[in-house]
Structure 1
Amino acid sequence: MTEIDRRGAIGIVGLGLAAAAAGAPASAQTPPLSPAFAGNHKPVPLAFDPAKLTGLSEKLIRSHYDNNYIGSVRTLNMIETRLATSLADKDFPPVVYGGLKREELHRTGSVILHELYFGALGGDGAAAGEVQKAIAASFGSFANWDAEFRRTAMSLAGGSGWCVLAWNFHTSSLHNYWAWDHMHQPVASVPLIALDMYEHAYHMDYGSAAAKYVDAFMANLNWEEIDRRFRRVADARAS
């Protein structure tokens, strides 16, 4: 499976789950199910040249990708393997199992959000497509959305979390969500843009100047990819 195919499959699976949660039928394109605790996640390669981003250094991107993202992929595989082996142990302590389940949620969120983050970089930051129109309609103007997205991101500066533009299937609306600790994305929502506000995402280049990092992120967004994500949402809504 290619990097683009895998990214699309992730999006389709996410849309199927969100649609089911909202009472809508799942897409016929939903791929075959994988075992719950397969433990075989593979890192998605970067789809852009990290040396050619504007305002984000290659050193920063590679450190973020190699240490934080790939680290979460490896840890998620380890946690899933441990959960699989614990199924046969009827005396496994619930308090210990609870810790594994929390880490499973934490690492799953980290892997998915990082793949969305890196997968939307490599563009020129010029918004276009149906998603731009939908954003403008939802927030009164695209400029209103941009200001609110940046404000939400900056509310996390110096802390840890994500700023996420998502489609909420339950409310049929677009929202900028404040997401703490990789795992506070609202139920029945599908992320379209994920901005990592953990300091590891920008401190190497900008220190504590988080606003400059947000500027750089926005300048490198690939809106063709974001529009593809939005159109998958639109297809799921129509099914």
Structure 2
Amino acid sequence: MSNEDSDGIRRRDVLSLIGSGLATAAVAAPARAESEPTLPAAGALLIKPAFAGQHTVRPLRFDPAKLRGLSEKLIRSHHENNYAGSVKALNLIEGRLAAAMQDADFPPIVYGGLKREELHRVGSVVLHEHYFDNLGGDGKAGGDVAKALSQVYGSVAAWEAEFRRTAMSLAGGSGWCVLTFNAATGELRNQWASDHMHGAVAGVPMLVLDMYEHSYHLDYGSAAARYLDAFLDNVDWQIVDRRFQLALHRMV
């Protein structure tokens, strides 16, 4: 079987899974209005040199004072301390890795510690950026991603129930609940992650929920279910749908 035939079967399998109505979306991403939030272009991150230590804090793309059920104080503290702190730490780790690359006698056991911290910080930065970027909406699921969720879960409500159950399994502890589109299997799946390093292999984040207590304790204490309600009420599904469109486009 040729590579072209293999790709064709893969494409048909994915479109069959999510419904034939999404075929057009998979061929090309739709035009967007000027006011629609933008996301990084495919491949944009690949041109950066290794260990450059030049990551910058991505600003909030919404007014945190206008969210419903999530206070401005909570959002700004989370963004300026937890997320920005990981950006700073990642730059520091990359600087140390760059220096270690110049030292032929650098101890492997120490280098291993740096690599583990690099993995931890990269995960934290990426997940936090996805988390903040998918806030600022009206919480109403729509677009092709909502159609796909209905197709594979039976309904958007059924998907949400499973997403909530997955998220609440982390309540009182730490981690992330992430709706992913798996580039290898073509599946939409809610994933559980106990820390920043437990992402699913080939899983592309569509919707990201931070379940670390720092993401809700200022507003809700230990009442994680109330925080989850507020989060879902503020999801920007245009962003989630745009991520889905990009993921489909890359597969074909």
**TM-score normalised by length of structure 1:** 0.88
1:139 pairs with 153, 156, 162, which one?
153
> The residue matched to 1:121 in structure 2 has which SS?
coil
Q: 1:172 offset after TM fit, Å? A: 1.1
Q: 1:123 offset after TM fit, Å? A: 0.4
Please provide the CA RMSD for this pair: 1.1
Cα distance per residue 1:34-75 (max 9 Å; x no partner):
111110001111000000100000000000000000000000
User: What does 1:27-106 align with in structure 2 at a 5 Å threshold?
Assistant: 33-106=47-120
Aligned to 2:34: none
Aligned to 1:216: 230
CA distance in 2 between partners of 1:84 and 1:32 (Å): 18
1:199 pairs with 209, 213, 222, which one?
213
Structure 1's unaligned 5+ residue stretches are 14-29
Aligned to 1:156: 170
Cα distance per residue 1:191-210 (max 9 Å; x no partner):
00110000000000000000
Residues 181 and 136 (structure 1), Cα distance of their counterparts in 2 relative to 1, 3 Å cut: same
Aligned to 1:16: none
1:8 pairs with 3, 27, 40, which one?
40
Quick check: 1:229 aligned with 2:243? yes
> The residue matched to 1:8 in structure 2 has which SS?
coil
> The residue matched to 1:175 in structure 2 has which SS?
strand
CA distance in 2 between partners of 1:36 and 1:150 (Å): 37
CA distance in 2 between partners of 1:32 and 1:39 (Å): 15
CA distance in 2 between partners of 1:187 and 1:82 (Å): 27
Aligned to 1:25: none
Amino acid at match of 1:111: V
CA distance in 1 between partners of 2:85 and 2:107 (Å): 27
Aligned to 1:18: none
Cα distance per residue 1:70-121 (max 9 Å; x no partner):
0000000000010001001111111111110000000000000000000010
Structure 1 stretches of 4+ moved >6 Å: none
1:116 pairs with 130, 138, 141, which one?
130
CA distance in 2 between partners of 1:50 and 1:122 (Å): 8
Which has the larger Rg? 2
Q: 1:32 offset after TM fit, Å? A: 5.6
Aligned to 1:169: 183
Q: Calculate percent identity across the aligned residue pairs.
A: 62
CA distance in 2 between partners of 1:150 and 1:161 (Å): 14
Residues 100 and 230 (structure 1), Cα distance of their counterparts in 2 relative to 1, 3 Å cut: same
> The residue matched to 1:79 in structure 2 has which SS?
helix
Alignment coverage as a number of residue pairs: 216
CA distance in 2 between partners of 1:117 and 1:54 (Å): 16
Residues 213 and 32 (structure 1), Cα distance of their counterparts in 2 relative to 1, 3 Å cut: closer
Cα distance per residue 1:140-174 (max 9 Å; x no partner):
11111000000000000111100000001121100
